[in-house]
Amino acid sequence: MAAMVNQEKIKIGIIGGSGLENPEILKSAKKISVTTKYGKPSSKIITGKIEGIPVAILSRHGSRHEIPPSFIPNQANIAALKKLGCTHIIATTACGSLRHKIRPGDFVFLDQFIDRTIHRRPSMYWKELAFHIPMAEPFCSNLRKLFTNEARKLKFRYHPKGTVVTIEGPRYSSLAESLMFRSWGADVINMSTVPEVVLARESGMHYASIAMSTDYDCWKKSERVDVNMVIKTMNKNVDKVVKLILKIIPKIKTYLDCPCEEDFKHAVQTKD
């Protein structure tokens, strides 16, 4: 049986988190600036408590959504949350559906990724040392189970697993690309999960993603994606995301034998 760490040691980082800044939700809220060896994160970080649990909320694309996907300071974002003592990260992300069964508005609790980015620094140890983190199970299975249990109780439409393909962006896929990603077995597509999930795993943090389908990408010719479609679906469902996160946070635990906390300890190959 897994040994659990005292919940007092838990602190939750939320990346995305639009709607959670409400003072009725976040107690003792304050904005703080954090600097890391990788520079500053995407935004000031809002700290406070939800149901008595310390949380830190970071806006991935900046406070005005001004940072394009390939220029997000992912290393600084993860390092800033780690510096503040975060043990877990709940990431929220919009995604395009590559499957009929995943409808706009559905949640997908990602379990795998395919990396199609080419311009991003893929490691916390880029050019510093040889650091080989296992990635067979990128997302924390304990958090994903919790997501599934709470979504079921709330009667939300959800999918307990799914493979995301992360593209460079900022453009959407061509039709040929969208069809290719479907043939590869990808279920959804976005521009933000990689390298964020990798950096969190390298930092020994429990990371899981609540992906919300906003559209059918462009493979489904009758419903091809555009920005207005994405924004409209996101706005309709932000309350559901908030409700789910509020249910999850008080129930989060951390497990000493979880790969999220163990794999990074043995990943360094560079000799002293």
Active site residues: 215, 217
d(CA 132, CA 267) in angstroms, rounded, equals 5
Instruction: Give phi and psi for 53, each to the nearest 5.
Output: -95, 130
SS3 per residue for the chain: CCCECCHHHCCEEEECCCCCCCCCCCEEEEEECCCECCECCCCCEEEEEECCEEEEEECCCCCCCCCCHHHCCHHHHHHHHHHCCCCEEEEEEEEEECCCCCCCCCEEECCEEEEECCCCCCCCCCCCCCECCCCCCCCCHHHHHHHHHHHHHHCCCEECCCEEEEECCCCCCCHHHHHHHHHCCCCEEECCHHHHHHHHHHCCCEEEEEEEEEECCCCCHHHCCCHHHHHHHHHHHHHHHHHHHHHHHHHCCCECCCHHHHHHHHCECCCC
Q: Can you tell me which residue has the tokens 């597509």?
A: 189
d(CA 47, CA 54): 7
- Across-strand partners of 95? 213
